[in-house]
Amino acid sequence: MSDKEKFEVDGNGEPMSYSNGMPPDWRFGGGGHGGNLVNSSLGLVSIGNSMNIDREDLIGSSSCSSASMVDSFSPNFWDHSANSQNLGFCDINGSSSNTIGIRKDGFGFGRGGHDHGTLEVGWNQANSMMMKGDGFLQNVQGVFPQSLSQFPTDSGFIERAARFSCFGGGNFGDVVNSYGIPQSMAMYAGTIHGARDGHAGIGLKVGIGGQSQERDDPKVVEGTKGVSLSVEQLATRGSPLKNDKSESRAVSQDDGRKALVRNVNDSDRGESGDDDVRGDGQEGSPMLEGTTSGEPSIKGLNSKKRKRSGQDPDNDKADGARELQSEGAKDNAENQQKGDQTKDSGKNAKQGSQTSDPPKEEYIHVRARRGQATNSHSLAERVRREKISERMKFLQELVPGCSKVTGKAVMLDEIINYVQSLQRQVEFLSMKLATVNPRLDFNIEGLLAKDILHQRPGPSSALGFPLEMSMNFPPLHPSQPGMIQSVMANMTNPSDILRRTIHPQLTPLTGGFKEPSQMPDVWEDELHNVVHMSFATTAPSTSQDVDGTAAANQMKVEL
């Protein structure tokens, strides 16, 4: 069952180990550029989950972006960003120190990757945007000398990521708009400083996802298209949760960061520097803790991310394979389920963000956001519930007496009763077999021979036994040991069929017992060729159920 795969979540996390900082390109079908659409779809799907967003993806995508541009106009960005602070995002708690730290960390983070570009430019923009701080320029420049492998541990960075995850946020458009020009500039700029590039690229991609304004720029366009397309696909497929999730993530820092990572990854860029990966992971942890130091939390977060990233591959691969089909949503829901267990802020965040839903829904068309019951926390959960109810329908057919029942609780009750009764029957029958058979030697041949040849007509049971089961008796006579099992099985079949047709509950053993004994008489009375022949020979050549049933049907008609 596919569900089983979900169990081995942690096992899949291996390729995502943060320590390696490996580029999660494999996730995106190798290389960021080629499979943009797929990547974005993958990323978007995972956004919805928010549980499985893999930071490495973010890093990878950021690093994939061309390494040019950002540097030259980074100062421009920051000046610009300082002006455009009118973001309706969730409040950013980053203090000035945080912003500074974020700046530093972000740059150190971006440094590691080789291919930085628009991603980083955008990221920088986002940073400045979120930070509401001044003097970024100075901070930024101070950051560059930092070591490449240094991990940004600033919670502000994480908050930024969280904010970015709010795709539907109205201010996103503002941000993008404000950055439109600089973004395009960034695209065509020269070499990019590693750290900045990463940030800018990320922010850019995120902004682009919100609006498809950067169509001119090839890279940006790719990311945008992919992102928005995938988002829309997701939305139309009934995964509006993604959008909501992304919004809620802003509040739930960890999730938000993950969504951001996902978004960035969607945009493209398969490669990811080791440092980027590490940086992202480290940034995430402080975000969780809400502290700038975040060192001790990093490990915890990394472990969490590892777990979720382990879930990610399942999601990503599945989604990529199925192109955002509902299955993908369901897989997300599955992973979501697991993620929900690990974190608890999602629900609150979602509820909080629902009220502040941005009016624009350009990419994610949520099916019933406001109309949903207040207790259904997330769309992923709804998908999961639908999946479960779909399975319950199968159970309804299996469990007798459940077809008229509606509602999970009652049906579960019936199922429980049925399973209990079946288990009790097994116990009872095993006890009975133990009493009947003092030596535990089930002599099938002897049993069958007695059954067939020496059946005495018992008191006629008032049951209208279908004769089809009787047909199996002649073939039951064992001629060769090899046929014993099949014969026995055939013997059991008639009784089973009988019981099944009559009623599913435990028929009295005597009734069952009588049934076989009556058949031979009936056959002899009917003088059906096949029956008579098979019965008389006592050495059936074949004991095929098909033959038996065919003859049985004829018998049925005659009787």
Partner 1 sequence: MRNLSSLKKEFLRKWIKGLRKYNSQKKNMNLLERKKAIKLSADLAMASTKDKTTLWRKALFANTSTKIDDEQDMSTTSSTPQKKVIRKNSTNSYPLRKRITGRRKILRRNHTKERVEASFIAMRLVKKRTRKLKSLLPGGKFMDDSCLVDETLDYIESLKAQVEVMRCLVTSSELFINQP
CB atoms within 10 A of CB 441: 8
**In whole angstroms, how close is the CB of 434 to partner 1 at the nearest point?**
4
User: Which range binds partner 1 by CB under 8 A, 117-125, 208-216, 353-361, 431-439?
Assistant: 431-439
Q: For partner 1, which is the closer residue by CB, 288 or 448?
A: 448
Residues near partner 1 (CB under 8 A), total: 75
Q: What sign has the CA pseudo-torsion 283, 285, 288, 292?
A: negative
Q: Tell whether residue 533 is a contact of partner 1 (CB under 8 A).
A: no
Q: Tell whether residue 423 is a contact of partner 1 (CB under 8 A).
A: yes
Q: For partner 1, which is the closer residue by CB, 359 or 508?
A: 508
Single out the residue of 368, 431, 533, 539 in contact with partner 1 (rule: CB under 8 A).
431
**Token pair of 310, please?**
């382990």
**In whole angstroms, how close is the CB of 475 to partner 1 at the nearest point?**
13
Q: Tell whether residue 368 is a contact of partner 1 (CB under 8 A).
A: no
**In whole angstroms, how close is the CB of 459 to partner 1 at the nearest point?**
14
Does residue 272 contact residue 265 with C-beta atoms inside 8 Å? no
Q: Tell whether residue 456 is a contact of partner 1 (CB under 8 A).
A: yes
User: Which range binds partner 1 by CB under 8 A, 53-61, 155-163, 210-218, 439-447?
Assistant: 439-447
Q: Tell whether residue 251 is a contact of partner 1 (CB under 8 A).
A: no
Q: Tell whether residue 441 is a contact of partner 1 (CB under 8 A).
A: yes
Q: Tell whether residue 468 is a contact of partner 1 (CB under 8 A).
A: no
Nearest one of 280, 335, 288 to 60, comparing CA atoms? 280
**In whole angstroms, how close is the CB of 548 to partner 1 at the nearest point?**
11
What contacts 209, CB < 8 A, 6 or more positions away?
40, 167, 223, 224, 227, 228, 231, 263, 266, 267, 363
**Tokens 């030259």 found at:** 72
**In whole angstroms, how close is the CB of 367 to partner 1 at the nearest point?**
20
Single out the residue of 137, 221, 447, 559 in contact with partner 1 (rule: CB under 8 A).
447
Single out the residue of 38, 399, 483, 522 in contact with partner 1 (rule: CB under 8 A).
399
**In whole angstroms, how close is the CB of 558 to partner 1 at the nearest point?**
24
CB atoms within 10 A of CB 406: 9
Single out the residue of 181, 368, 433, 539 in contact with partner 1 (rule: CB under 8 A).
433
**In whole angstroms, how close is the CB of 408 to partner 1 at the nearest point?**
5
**Tokens 């600033």 found at:** 154
- Report the alpha-carbon distance of residue 518 to residue 366 in Å, rounded: 64
DSSP state of 62: H
Q: What are residue 68's DSSP bridge partners?
A: 191
**In whole angstroms, how close is the CB of 542 to partner 1 at the nearest point?**
15
Does residue 12 contact residue 310 with C-beta atoms inside 8 Å? yes
Q: Tell whether residue 370 is a contact of partner 1 (CB under 8 A).
A: no
Backbone angles phi, psi at 191, to 5 degrees: -65, 150
Single out the residue of 321, 416, 533, 536 in contact with partner 1 (rule: CB under 8 A).
416
DSSP state of 356: T
Q: Give 3-state DSSP helix, strand, coil % of the chain, rounded to 5.
A: 70, 0, 30
**Tokens 């077809």 found at:** 403
CA angle 47, 168, 97 (to 5 degrees): 80
Q: Tell whether residue 362 is a contact of partner 1 (CB under 8 A).
A: no
Q: What is the largest CA-CA distance in the chain?
A: 106
Q: Tell whether residue 344 is a contact of partner 1 (CB under 8 A).
A: no
Q: Tell whether residue 496 is a contact of partner 1 (CB under 8 A).
A: yes
**In whole angstroms, how close is the CB of 322 to partner 1 at the nearest point?**
17
- Report the alpha-carbon distance of residue 311 to residue 209 in Å, rounded: 24
DSSP 236-271: HTT-THHHHHHHHHHHSHHHHHHHHHHHHHHHS---
Q: Tell whether residue 415 is a contact of partner 1 (CB under 8 A).
A: yes
Q: Tell whether residue 524 is a contact of partner 1 (CB under 8 A).
A: no
Single out the residue of 391, 464, 533, 536 in contact with partner 1 (rule: CB under 8 A).
391
DSSP state of 220: H
Q: Tell whether residue 486 is a contact of partner 1 (CB under 8 A).
A: yes
- Report the alpha-carbon distance of residue 559 to residue 557 in Å, rounded: 5
**Tokens 């309804």 found at:** 396
User: Which range binds partner 1 by CB under 8 A, 22-30, 34-42, 102-110, 409-417?
Assistant: 409-417
Q: Tell whether residue 450 is a contact of partner 1 (CB under 8 A).
A: yes
Q: For partner 1, which is the closer residue by CB, 230 or 396?
A: 396
Q: Tell whether residue 542 is a contact of partner 1 (CB under 8 A).
A: no
Q: Tell whether residue 419 is a contact of partner 1 (CB under 8 A).
A: yes
Q: Tell whether residue 1 is a contact of partner 1 (CB under 8 A).
A: yes
Does residue 316 contact residue 211 with C-beta atoms inside 8 Å? no
**In whole angstroms, how close is the CB of 183 to partner 1 at the nearest point?**
43
